[in-house]
Amino acid sequence: MVEIKLWAPSAKTAHAVIVDPLPQQLSGRLDQPLSDEALASCQRLEMHKSGENFTISLPADTNYLLSIDDGSPRPDPRSAAQPWGVHGPSRTFDAGAYRWRTPQASHNVLGDVIYELHIGTFTSEGTLDSAIERLGHLKNLGVKTIELMPVSPFPGKRGWGYDGVYWYGVQESYGGPEALQRFVDAAHAQDLAVCLDVVYNHFGPAGNYAPTFAPFFTKKHTTPWGDAINLDDEGCEGVRKFIVEAALRWLRDFRIDALRLDAVHALIDDSPVHILAELSEKVDELEAELGLKKTLIAESDMNQPRMVLPVADGGLGIDGQWDDDVHHALHSYLTGETFGYYIDFGAPETLAKALEQVFVHDGCYSTFRKQDWGAPVPETLSRKRFVISTQNHDQVGNRGQGDRPEERLPQGLQAASAAILLLSPFTPMLFQGQEWATKGRFQFFTDHDASLGKDVSEGRMEEFGAHGWEEIYGENPWVPDPQSPETFEASTLDWDESRRGRHAEMLQWYKELILLRGELTDEQIKCDWGNGWFRMKSGGLTVVVNSDGEPDLIDQKPSEILASWGEVSYDDGRLRLGKDSVAILN
């Protein structure tokens, strides 16, 4: 039996409506909820009230809806599965029924290589089970943690997952909740950790029935998505518990090793204890109970080291956080792009500051934000606590056309970018296909109903115009339609590409760099630069890049060349770097 728990603080009664036999409308995806007439013959079971919650136990694989005070039945906000889409009946799932084959073990997520992937486009089948077949590739690459973009049920079959509306469930087109358990089990069998991207800062625009039952939103704060999630207004205790219990469920019942918390700057909370600090303490308790390490990583653009400081020291207690400043500094330095949010980046000294001090905006003025931003990171704070990347779903997919740096950078600079990323003391993250320099794009795609889809497509066009992309795409550029199936299909990885020519060479280069990463002796990092060249000394290794396209001679203490791309030679205290080349020295 599976316990169903409904938080409905204002309700006097609640019923589970058993959707069996299935109405004729359930022949496929539903674009709106089942009507009261369609459900008239369904059995209604009274739920037990305890305080603000109602509970009932149902057999596994039961299709059901929930109703309060004899209102129209709606899907369960804690639904584990939505076989007919976000508007259809929920289905019970017994998370304890799965027979795990791999013993549980602790995984050190921070400090080793993370690999971000999107289940729907990682393989042509777009399922968790098909992704299992590619785990050997990731193991051979040297990856230690797989980061899954959100898997919670979202509208339709195509989407990034950030429009999810059931924070306890798994998207049906990916295979549903048991498929996620199989994936985690298979990953652990390869000694790969799994990090799950979770979104607690908003619900998607379609299929969100949680407010039907409880005060999930507040008008006290606003976010880019509208009214904020209620973390500090009347009734917030139930919302906070809803978030914490969702997070703990992934870590406990699905054996997820880490959670990536999406856009935590949009978790607006003026409570005495911030929701992130509360979550951190609850995860610590779970760690003690299980005897296993579980990791929390925050996506935050606030540039605040407080995010990863202990709660006892006034911090929020999160284990790690994304650091976009390193991405911006390196991308802008190599590509020359200095428009939009790249406006303060591009110079070698800016890249050096990002690598040496973590944040470029560390209390100084941000031109893009038009205000002082961030705070300095203490030298004693481990750089492993900061996740950096040269590509991720945001930095590729939110470009106007979803294009990758490979479309503009020569291969030597692609190789140089990888060397700085992977041989720095931070926690490096790769994005699917990056390791073989795929030319395939990752575009923004959705699968909403016609009305909402039209609004999304038009909104994407308006957003495009505000970012200044015409500087690289030219006037009146083409913008992919998020609703078009072709946009999704163009974003699916071509695995055959990884075995061809220069792509295969780049894949070998990434493998070589990840092996060299094992030779880093400490977190010390120091940078210098000259006319067209940049040098990073990191943990006993030195990376030297020629980025201006002209051969250059650089003074360099006697060193052994461990790896190189392009024309590189060393003679009599001088390192010669050819056009678009990189050398790694000990």
Taking alpha carbons only, the member of 111, 106, 107, 108 closest to residue 387 is: 111
* Residue 27 pLDDT: 66
**Is 326 flagged in the annotation as binding?**
yes
**Is 107 flagged in the annotation as binding?**
no
Taking alpha carbons only, the member of 584, 567, 415, 566 closest to residue 516 is: 584
Alpha helices by DSSP H, listed for 206-323, are: 236-253, 275-290
**Is 191 flagged in the annotation as binding?**
no
Taking alpha carbons only, the member of 363, 355, 373 closest to residue 542 is: 355
CA 437 to chain centre: 20
**Is 43 flagged in the annotation as binding?**
no
Asked whether the bond before 21 is cis by omega within 30 degrees of 0, the reply is yes
**Is 264 flagged in the annotation as binding?**
yes
Write down the CATH number for the domain with range 2-92.
Answer: 2.60.40.10
Taking alpha carbons only, the member of 75, 72, 95 closest to residue 83 is: 75
Residue type, 17: V
**Is 481 flagged in the annotation as binding?**
no
Per-residue pLDDT of the chain (586 residues; tens, 9 = 90+): 999 999 999 999 999 999 987 776 676 778 889 999 999 999 999 999 999 999 999 999 999 999 999 999 999 999 999 999 999 999 999 999 999 999 999 999 999 999 999 999 999 999 999 999 999 999 999 999 999 999 999 999 999 999 999 999 999 999 999 999 999 999 999 999 999 999 999 999 999 999 999 999 999 999 999 999 999 999 999 999 999 999 999 999 999 999 999 999 999 999 999 999 999 999 999 999 999 999 999 999 999 999 999 999 999 999 999 999 999 999 999 999 999 899 999 999 999 999 999 999 999 999 999 999 999 999 999 999 999 999 999 999 999 899 999 999 999 999 999 999 999 999 999 999 999 999 999 999 999 988 888 887 777 777 666 666 777 888 778 889 999 999 999 999 999 999 999 999 999 999 999 999 999 999 999 999 999 999 999 999 999 999 987 777 888 888 899 999 999 998 888 899 999 999 999 9
How far, in Å, CA of 320 to CA of 382, rounded? Answer: 10
* Residue 465 pLDDT: 62
**Is 448 flagged in the annotation as binding?**
no
Half-sphere exposure (Cβ direction) of 359: Cα atoms closer than 13 Å: 24
How far, in Å, CA of 369 to CA of 7, rounded? Answer: 39
Is the CB of residue 162 less than 8 Å from the CB of residue 148?
no
Taking alpha carbons only, the member of 229, 225, 254, 228 closest to residue 148 is: 254
* Residue 464 pLDDT: 65
**Is 262 flagged in the annotation as binding?**
yes
Q: What HEC string does 322-382 produce?
A: ECHHHHHHHHHHHHCCCCHHHCCCCCHHHHHHHHHHCCCCCCCEECCCCEECCCCCCCCCC
**Residue among 262, 278, 512, 580 flagged as catalytic:** 262
> In 10 A of CB 485, how many CB atoms?
12
**Is 336 flagged in the annotation as binding?**
no
**Is 260 flagged in the annotation as binding?**
yes
**Is 327 flagged in the annotation as binding?**
yes
455 catalytic per annotation: no
* Residue 25 pLDDT: 64
Is the CB of residue 91 less than 8 Å from the CB of residue 106?
no
How far, in Å, CA of 63 to CA of 65, rounded? Answer: 7
How far, in Å, CA of 509 to CA of 300, rounded? Answer: 31
Is the CB of residue 111 less than 8 Å from the CB of residue 143?
no
Tokens 């149902």, located at residue: 58
**Is 393 flagged in the annotation as binding?**
yes
* Residue 559 pLDDT: 85
Taking alpha carbons only, the member of 253, 261, 358 closest to residue 319 is: 261
Domain 521-585 fold = Immunoglobulin-like (2.60.40)
User: Is it true that 114-516 and 521-585 share their CATH fold?
Assistant: no
User: Domain residues of the chain, as ranges?
Assistant: 2-92, 114-516, 521-585
Taking alpha carbons only, the member of 476, 471, 225 closest to residue 340 is: 471
Is the CB of residue 82 less than 8 Å from the CB of residue 169?
yes
* Residue 77 pLDDT: 98
114-516 belongs to which homologous superfamily?
Glycosidases (3.20.20.80)
How far, in Å, CA of 544 to CA of 561, rounded? Answer: 11
- Is 252 exposed, middle or buried, given 0-12, 13-18 or 19+ CB atoms closer than 10 A? middle
How far, in Å, CA of 239 to CA of 16, rounded? Answer: 21
Taking alpha carbons only, the member of 340, 344, 367 closest to residue 464 is: 340
Q: Which run of H or E residues covers position 416?
A: helix 411-422
281 catalytic per annotation: no
Structure tokens, 542: 């030195």
Is the CB of residue 199 less than 8 Å from the CB of residue 393?
no
**Is 398 flagged in the annotation as binding?**
yes
Residue type, 183: F
**Residue among 299, 344, 552, 580 flagged as catalytic:** 299
* Residue 173 pLDDT: 97
Is the CB of residue 454 less than 8 Å from the CB of residue 446?
no
Q: Which run of H or E residues covers position 7?
A: strand 2-7
Structure tokens, 514: 């990840």
Q: Is the pTM of this model over 0.85?
A: yes
**Is 387 flagged in the annotation as binding?**
no
Pair type for strands 533-538 and 574-577 = unpaired
How far, in Å, CA of 301 to CA of 293, rounded? Answer: 26
Sign of the dihedral defined by the CA atoms of residues 344, 349, 352, 358, in that order? negative
**Is 545 flagged in the annotation as binding?**
no
